[in-house]
Every structure is written in C-alpha cells, then in structure tokens.
Chain A
C-alpha cells in the first residue's frame, strides 16, 4: 500500500511531523513502513512553460524548435516529442535542473540550434511508465491551461509529496485504504479524524425504476448495492485526482473509472462502474457461473469460468467476474452517459478461489480476499455517487438498488485488565487501557472489573482477548514491556543421546579431515536412487519447479559427488566432504515417507599433501575404510564390524564393500566406477554412505575399565604364503578363533605379491600378541598357543610359513 502523506493529511492531522518520523512511528506501532519515497526526488528548476511557437528544426526531421515562455523569459528549447504543439502548457526542466534519473539539464546546441532546457514527459519526472495516462504515455505531458508559466510544476503534479510504502501483514487489511491508515495514524498520534463527504442533490427519479437487481448466490454475495447516475460526461479527471491515483500506484483512465478507483483507495471498498446502456437488459443478476461459461475481461482476455466462480450478469450473460475484474462488454467508454456503480460485499473465500482459478489479481480482489468492512459498502457507493455528480456532471438517481442480508454486527470481546497485564507481564492501569481503546475508536464499557469491547467492523482481525492484548501493548509501546525470564520448575536442558552422538560423529569426521557439506534434498529422477543403500518407492513433488528438483533423494552420494566435481573443476587438489542428512523411502502408515538419517562421505584427489618432506599419497579405499573403522571404534561397535565384497551399480565392481554390524548391512564403501569418474572428470574417488540412525540407535555396552597389567606380553611374528585370492580378513579370523584366550592382538603388518613369490601366491605377515593379565607367560604356553594357530592356518587356509 502506497500512502501519500499529503492525501493522508486530509483525514488526520500530521502537521509538524516529518514523514520519516511518521513512518517510524507507524512501524513501531505495528505496520511496517518499508520505504519513505520522496516523489520530488529533490528536483528543482522544473517549471510550467507555455509553448508560444513551434517550428520544425531545419536539420532534423524529428526535432522541433520551440519558443517557450517560462515566466521570467521566453527561451528556445528543442523538443523531440511527437505531441508537442504551440499553445500547450508543458513541463520545462530549466538549465541546472537534475532529473530523477540523474540527468543534468544544461544549455546545449542540437544540430546547430540552441536549446535552453528540456520539455519533459512524466516518466522523466520519475513516474513509472505504467502509471502515466495512456494519452501521454509516448510523449510529453500537457498541463491544464490554468497552469501559470514559471511556477514550479511539483505542487501542480502532486510531486511535492512523500509517499510511505507499507508492507502489510495479512491481518491488517484495514490499512489497505487511506481511511484505514488514517485511523491507525490517528490512534498513534492521538489525533481526531476528518471523514470524506458524500453530499449531492439526488434526482427525483428513483434508481429502482431504472434497474432490477437479483442476487441468486446470497451466500457468496450477501450484500449488493447499485447506484445509477445519469447524464455523465466521460472525460479526463481533474489533475489532483489523477496525481493522487498515480501516487497510490494506479493509472488514471477517465473520470468515471478514476472515481471508482479513488473511492477504492479511500475506503478500501472496491467498486465497479458499468455502462448502463451496454448492460442492455436494465437488470443485474448475481449468480454462480455455469461451468465453461465465457467472459472477455477488461484486459481483453477471454476467460472460461468454473461453476464456483461468482459472476455479475445482465440476466443473460456475465458482465463481470465478481470482485475480480469487469467485463469488456459493459465497460465505461467515452460515449457512456448512464453509469451503474456497484458496491458489494463478496465473500473472501469465493473471490480468492476465483482469483486463483484465473490467475488474475486486481486491487479489488486483493481487498475482497482479505475481507472488506461491511459498514463501508454503502458509504463508498454514496461517496462515488457524489464525486460523479461533482466531477462528471452526473445526475444521481434517488435511492439505491440494494440486496442486503449481510451481518454487520461488530465482534464483541470481553477481557479483564488483569488478564491483559498477566499475559504481558506488565502493570498497565485501567485508565491507560481505556485511553488506548478510545484512541483506536473501539467502543467499550468498563464494568465488573471487565472490559466489554466492540471491535469496529473495519478491524476484522480483532476477535479474541489476545487481539486486545496486542492492541493495548502495541499502542502502549513494546519498549515498555519489562524483561524477565520464565519462572518455573528448573530442569536441566540437553541433547538426547542420539543428538549427542551425532555431534561426536561430526567432530570425529572433521578431525579426520572431512568438511561438512549440506546439499539439497530434492533431486532429479535419475539421481534419486543412484548409489542408494536401499531403495523404495520415491516421494515426488506434485508441481516441481524443475526436473532437477522434483524428487526426494534416497542417497546422499549424488549431490556430494556434484560438490566434489564442482570443487575439482576449481583446482581443488583434495576434496573430502561428509554430510549428515535424511533420505526418504517409501511410505509409512501415516502416509509420510520413512525418513532415515544417513551419513555419507566422499574423498577424492590427494590425501597426504606434497610437502617439503616429499610425501604425497592419493586417496584410496583404505583411507575411507580406516575412517569407518575409527568411527565404529568411537561408537563402540568395533567387535561387530565386518566388511564384505559387494556389487553396486555405478561403483567399482572390485572395490566395493558392504559395511555390516553384527551381520546386518548398515552401509557401503566403494570406489566410484572409473566410467563415472571419467564422466565427472574426477581422479580416483571413494564414497561412503551409512544408515546413521541405525548405527546411533544401536545399543552400546557400558564402558568398564580393564585393569592395566603389570605383566609383559609376548609378540610373535609370522609370515604366511597363501593363494592370492585368499582374503586376509579370513586369515585374521582363523588366527583369532584358534589363538585361544591368551591371544590378545592380531595385526597385519606386511603384504607382498610380486616377483619373489610363486605365481598365484602372496605373502601375508601378522604380528600376534599373547598376554595374560594375571602372570608372566612361559615360553611353553606361548609355543603351544602359537602352534595351534599355525596348524589351523595350514588346515583351514592352506597357509604355509614363509621360509
């Protein structure tokens, strides 16, 4: 809502208050002033000029040499506008003027001819093109004959004005009108209101003799009033009315249309003007449209109506979409003589639906959607009638054509001052409360320790006690609210064990060198299940904004890979990222998808940097595997953890493993398939994804200290020759199982495959640690245990001791 402070001052006294300060006061009281706009843009030296003479420029077809009376002198100005003519009063920017675009006006020569200024269009004075009356849209603006050469044009065009741009929240639709804003400002400043007048002499002829009205859809349209005005002369509106409309962001058309828009802006009550003769039937019928019924609206679009759209008809065909836009067939035009002014109460839900159905928003629908004041329907109609009489020479017929079943009772709220103070944590006196209600022009009675309040119908947002609390508080000032902390039973706050563990997981991964990434949950169909640990029916948006973001992901890896590709393309040597986020699988009983929190990581490029010490190492499978092992150790699941070869689409078939806890698959770890790497222009890249929720929800054994032993341990190293295919994990398992209770540690320390080995064989070396916490082991005991291990290795894995 754009509020001209000059216009506003017609209804409420704001004198002596700087518009900026006024804006600040309005903001602090509850309606945010988004901008304070100076319509003059600081312009000076822009005056009325009288074009005494116009001749064609001898050297340029499109230019005219004008002799212009600018008050103190007559001066020559070259003008290129197609519509400049001798005898016009025009806007002249004199040398020294600075126009809103930053253009500085100087004396100049145009093709040899002197030009002492510029004849201006409205656009050049900073008025948006869409607001300039059509007649002047492509040329200079012509002022009325009464304009006096040499005088500043700013007051004449209403540009000596400051406009407040209000950012209205949906509850404050009452401020979608100048009067509504005036009420608010009046309450803030404790100033009284001055209401607009609606005085005219009505004709003897009765409106009801001219027009018949039937409302068939009373639920959607509980009130409709029509005024009939004869002998109207359609012409340009007076300048003051035009510039007020432009200040409010409305383009002037002709006096009849402008008056309906003016009253809309003034009262917040949308009006519509029909050409009575073009209605043809002398009848208005309000009804729901037939499905598929058609209407051409004022914007020359043909629209196909739906059966729930409310329409105004002439008894035969629609002449307007109720509350949204008029029809072209009944539009007021230059030859119109009799006008029907419609003022109605259309129910908000109906208008919202219709407006949505046709994707059509107007100043009218915006107000109906939020609910207009039932008590202004008649007032606005009368105000329009009086302006038509005054500005269009119209003869207003007596009375109105009216259907009215609208409930106009104000909402009643009963609230105790104690309740107000309790909720606010304040001690506002009853006197202060009632004084605020008076300023707000709320009817109230104070009795029995209670306030009985009747909220004015313009304030549809006031319904319950809490609404009154807000009104009192905002007018009293939020700065006055003290600062306290809740008084309650003191309880410790904290994280759940899941949340605490998740933080530890993050800290661990970051300590291991990974950066936390956050990527989008929405992805493309193609990526939604790629690399997924588990797939289920996907969750798809009804109306995605793009195919790229149309489905919820079932794996975090694709978007992490995107981030890796992005970074690699920007010269990052090493990219190591992890993400904790949800994947969305199938559907639960409640209809929502299963949301599982997953952990994913991707590493690519170098792991050890090339430093002056000469080390440099690319990432590999075991870097990521080590991170997983460390993580499981942190979470207390080392003994349950195993890795198994696996095959997953898009991943390297020889370098993929399932991660299992107690035999249950909880994740995967793999190298990205070389062809996938190539597609993304990546070096060797390793990925990890696991069902974090499953891991974190797993029970963990209590942590007990094991006494630190005084006795030494004994270590024996063995080098084994086995078949190349033999998994070292299997050997390790054999050793652990056969080593007995004294074997406390198995550590692989060397792996060799190559020239020195027989083909198809490899050498694997383990270091075995034997230990008894109770005593020092004898050689014999160790030899016995160790022999059992060697025997088992030979029998179960065909392993020989390497000579």
Chain B
C-alpha cells in the first residue's frame, strides 16, 4: 500500500507539472484530491488495514496529500500569474491615440474682462449695481450735471426714443439711480453694462459697446483714495509692476476730473507700438463726484464726497489680447470666441 501511495504521488506530481492552464490544474486537483479521487479512496481503504498500521499509514497519506497540495498551489499561482499577464498583454492600447474631447464653451471675452474687474472690486467691498439700458434723459444727463443744452452733450450723440427717453450713452445713470435710492447713505458700487452711441460701426467704433464704472461715496472720500484705488486696480489687472499716472481732464459729472494712464504692460514704459511709443496707455476716466451731482441726488456735498471712474471693457480687451477691430466682439465668430478659453498667468 505504501508503494501504491508512492506511485500515486509520482503520478500526481507529473500531472501537476504537465498542467498548462488554471483549468487543467483544477481538473487535476479534482481528479486526485477531490472526494472521489484516489487519495480519498486510499484513506477509505485504510479500514481494511490492521488497527496498529492505521495511524502510521494515515499519517503517511496526509504527508503525501500536503506535499501534493503545496506543489499544486505553487503551480496554481504560477499559472494564474501567467494567465493575468496574457490578459494584460491582450488589453494593451495605443496610448498616443487622442482622448475623447470634452465639449466646453467659454465666456465672451468682454464678460471675461467684466467679471475680472467685478471680482477685483468685490474683493475691496464693492457691490454690483445694474440698471436699464433704455433710460430717461434725466438719469442719463440731467442728474449728472448735463442739463439740456450743455455743450458736453455734443460729446456723445445719442439714440433717442422720445424727447425724454434714450438708449443710455454710459452706465453713469446707474450711479444716479443708486444715489437716489440710497438716500444719503454711503455707496460703493461697480456698474457694468451695455451702452449705445450714434456711431457708424468701424474698426474703432461700435454703436453698442460695454462700460464698467465705479462709484464710492462716503465721509471724507479724497482724491488720494481715488488714486490709491486705481493703482490697486491697475496692478491687479495689468501686473504688479504697473505704474499709474493721472492727467487732468474734463467730465461734467466730476470735478476735478482725470484720465488715468498705466505704464505700458508690453514694453514696461520704453515705448512700443501698443503704447504708441509713449510708454503710457490711457485706460480710464475718473474724478471726484461733482457737487451738483451729489446735491441733485440729495447728498450734502459739504459733508460727503466721492469718486467715480469708468472704463471700456472693449478697449481693455483690445489692449490685453491685441484685438485690432472692435467689431470682432459683436460678430461672434466661433474661431474668435473659442480663443478666450484658457486661464491666464
């Protein structure tokens, strides 16, 4: 019986060795180690042995079984690994093939500029105020120190709807409306929006364009506050090393009035085609709110003061992104729009 066991062992080990797949090996396991296998048969047949031989024989069978099992499991691990490797080999792909495109649109460049400015001022405690695009002459002109017949009205030819109603020529009426609504309380707002002027559309003019203005009113607001605020804006918008300079100018709704230049962000001030060789780029108009404007909205101009500034997102986008024709913003050519997708800096 011992010899029989040895022979069986040789046989199984041979079969294990010969198994080329997990399945074959499993078949071997079932055939030899299963409930109906020869090893089990041997154990069952032990009953015929003399009682004193049984423990010895039993131990022997167990040793063989363990030995076989160990070999089988080692072989199993090997075959499984091989199978996985084959599978992985089959699953290889060409990783240089293009990925599935993610379909994404993006902000219009003007919105991009407007939101950037909005966010910058929100960070300084400003709120966003909006108002109607069709306005009363009163809010568009009169409340801003531009009475009927004022020579400065020639500066902006308007689209009138009736004698008293027109398409707003700037976003300043939002300021006038806000002042009226705030009834003498401090104000800190940014007003973005569409505006309209009687211009023929060409590379530098558009009958519809965008403006963004700011207004701060409070006790003892000084011109130095305006300058400091504009400097923060210029640095955040155009780079930390931007310098600003103010030049006296004229707007009916501010006194004193200024225009702000920034040092050229392309050449740094040495002179190039962006700054027309001057080293400076005109960015916005600003000033201290005219006392007439304050008084008309019910503010005591002796107690309260304020500053206002305004700029054109088109101009800023044109400067920043090198856009040469203002009409591109309103043609909505996808080849143009899609270029304003990625982040900057």
**Cβ contacts A451-466/B at 8 Å (1 or 0 each):** 0000000000000111
- Among the listed stretches A114-122, A514-522, A661-669, which one makes contact with chain B, having 4 or more residues with CB under 8 Å of it? A514-522
Min Cβ gap A769→B in Å is 29
B245 at interface, CB cutoff 8 A: yes
Closest to B219 in A: A488
In the complex, chain B residues whose CB is within 8 Å of the CB of A369: 151
Number of interface residues of A (CB under 8 A): 92
Closest to A588 in B: B132
Closest to A580 in B: B111
Min Cβ gap A354→B in Å is 13
Contact indicator A499/B161 (Cβ below 8 Å): no
CA–CA, A478 and B260, complex, Å: 11
- Among the listed stretches B8-16, B60-68, B74-82, B250-258, which one makes contact with chain A, having 4 or more residues with CB under 8 Å of it? B250-258
CA–CA, A493 and B120, complex, Å: 10
Closest to B99 in A: A611
Contact indicator A516/B108 (Cβ below 8 Å): yes
Contact indicator A30/B248 (Cβ below 8 Å): yes
A592 at interface, CB cutoff 8 A: yes
Known contacts A466-B256, A521-B196; is A514 also within 8 Å of B219 by CB? no
Known contacts A425-B222, A493-B123; is A478 also within 8 Å of B108 by CB? no
In the complex, chain B residues whose CB is within 8 Å of the CB of A487: 220, 225
In the complex, chain A residues whose CB is within 8 Å of the CB of B194: 521, 581
A723 at interface, CB cutoff 8 A: no
In the complex, chain B residues whose CB is within 8 Å of the CB of A29: 248
**Cβ contacts B266-298/A at 8 Å (1 or 0 each):** 000000000000000000000010110000000
Contact indicator A423/B250 (Cβ below 8 Å): no
Could you say which of A369, A470, A540, A581 has the most chain B C-beta atoms within 10 Å of its C-beta? A470
Contact indicator A478/B333 (Cβ below 8 Å): no
* Candidates A474, A490, A543; contact of B256 at CB < 8 Å: A474
12 A-B pairs in the complex with CB atoms less than 8 angstroms apart: A28-B247, A170-B250, A349-B149, A425-B223, A469-B256, A481-B227, A484-B227, A488-B218, A566-B331, A591-B136, A595-B132, A611-B101
Known contacts A348-B151, A510-B107, A513-B103; is A592 also within 8 Å of B134 by CB? yes
Min Cβ gap A680→B in Å is 15
In the complex, chain A residues whose CB is within 8 Å of the CB of B136: 590-592
CA–CA, A172 and B196, complex, Å: 26
In the complex, chain B residues whose CB is within 8 Å of the CB of A512: 103, 105
Contact indicator A592/B223 (Cβ below 8 Å): no
Contact indicator A426/B208 (Cβ below 8 Å): no
In the complex, chain B residues whose CB is within 8 Å of the CB of A489: 186
- Identify which of residues 439-491 in chain A touch chain B, using a CB-to-CB cut-off of 8 Å: 464-467, 469-470, 473-474, 478-479, 481-491
- Identify which of residues 84-118 in chain B touch chain A, using a CB-to-CB cut-off of 8 Å: 97-98, 100-101, 103-108, 110-111, 115, 118
Known contacts A478-B246, A567-B332; is A592 also within 8 Å of B125 by CB? no
In the complex, chain B residues whose CB is within 8 Å of the CB of A518: 108, 110-111, 329-330, 332
B228 at interface, CB cutoff 8 A: yes
Min Cβ gap A636→B in Å is 23
In the complex, chain A residues whose CB is within 8 Å of the CB of B255: 464, 466-467, 469-470
Contact indicator B288/A516 (Cβ below 8 Å): no
CA–CA, A422 and B208, complex, Å: 39
Min Cβ gap A607→B in Å is 8
A6 at interface, CB cutoff 8 A: no
Contact indicator B291/A522 (Cβ below 8 Å): no
* Candidates A464, A481, A522; contact of B246 at CB < 8 Å: A481
- Residues on A facing B (Cβ under 8 Å): 27-30, 32, 169-172, 348-349, 352, 369-370, 422-426, 464-467, 469-470, 473-474, 478-479, 481-496, 499, 503, 506, 509-522, 539-545, 549, 552, 563, 566-567, 570, 572, 575-578, 581-582, 584, 590-593, 595, 609, 611-613
Contact indicator A488/B186 (Cβ below 8 Å): yes
Contact indicator A543/B221 (Cβ below 8 Å): no
CA–CA, A577 and B333, complex, Å: 10
In the complex, chain B residues whose CB is within 8 Å of the CB of A509: 105
In the complex, chain A residues whose CB is within 8 Å of the CB of B121: 493
In the complex, chain A residues whose CB is within 8 Å of the CB of B107: 506, 510, 516
Contact indicator A592/B165 (Cβ below 8 Å): yes
In the complex, chain B residues whose CB is within 8 Å of the CB of A519: 330, 332
Closest to A578 in B: B105
In the complex, chain B residues whose CB is within 8 Å of the CB of A522: 159, 167, 196, 207-208
B231 at interface, CB cutoff 8 A: yes
B200 at interface, CB cutoff 8 A: yes
CA–CA, A581 and B291, complex, Å: 34
The DSSP consensus for interface residues of chain B is: mixed
Contact indicator A517/B227 (Cβ below 8 Å): no
**Cβ contacts B191-228/A at 8 Å (1 or 0 each):** 00010101010000001100000001011111111011
Known contacts A424-B223, A478-B247, A542-B161; is A491 also within 8 Å of B125 by CB? yes
Min Cβ gap A323→B in Å is 14
- Identify which of residues 1-41 in chain B touch chain A, using a CB-to-CB cut-off of 8 Å: none
Min Cβ gap B219→A in Å is 7
Min Cβ gap A580→B in Å is 9
CA–CA, A581 and B246, complex, Å: 35
Known contacts A170-B152, A466-B290, A521-B208; is A582 also within 8 Å of B337 by CB? no
B160 at interface, CB cutoff 8 A: yes
* Candidates B115, B188, B219; contact of A503 at CB < 8 Å: B115
Closest to A494 in B: B122
Top 3 nearest A-B pairs (CB, nearest first) are: A425-B224, A425-B222, A30-B248
Contact indicator B134/A566 (Cβ below 8 Å): no
Contact indicator A539/B161 (Cβ below 8 Å): yes
In the complex, chain B residues whose CB is within 8 Å of the CB of A582: 133
Closest to B139 in A: A592
Closest to A613 in B: B100
B126 at interface, CB cutoff 8 A: yes
CA–CA, A248 and B262, complex, Å: 32
Known contacts A478-B247, A483-B231; is A423 also within 8 Å of B305 by CB? yes
CA–CA, A214 and B246, complex, Å: 50
Contact indicator B333/A567 (Cβ below 8 Å): yes
**Cβ contacts B318-345/A at 8 Å (1 or 0 each):** 0000000000011111110110000000
Known contacts A425-B224, A566-B332; is A612 also within 8 Å of B97 by CB? yes
* Candidates B118, B162, B225; contact of A484 at CB < 8 Å: B225
Known contacts A422-B220, A515-B105; is A584 also within 8 Å of B134 by CB? yes
CA–CA, A506 and B110, complex, Å: 13
Known contacts A27-B247, A516-B105; is A485 also within 8 Å of B151 by CB? no
Contact indicator B331/A611 (Cβ below 8 Å): no
CA–CA, A572 and B128, complex, Å: 36
In the complex, chain A residues whose CB is within 8 Å of the CB of B70: none
Contact indicator B291/A464 (Cβ below 8 Å): yes
* Candidates B155, B248, B288; contact of A423 at CB < 8 Å: B288
Min Cβ gap A455→B in Å is 14
* Candidates A517, A543, A544; contact of B332 at CB < 8 Å: A517
In the complex, chain B residues whose CB is within 8 Å of the CB of A545: 198, 200, 207
B124 at interface, CB cutoff 8 A: yes
Contact indicator A611/B218 (Cβ below 8 Å): no
Known contacts A493-B123, A549-B207; is A423 also within 8 Å of B198 by CB? no
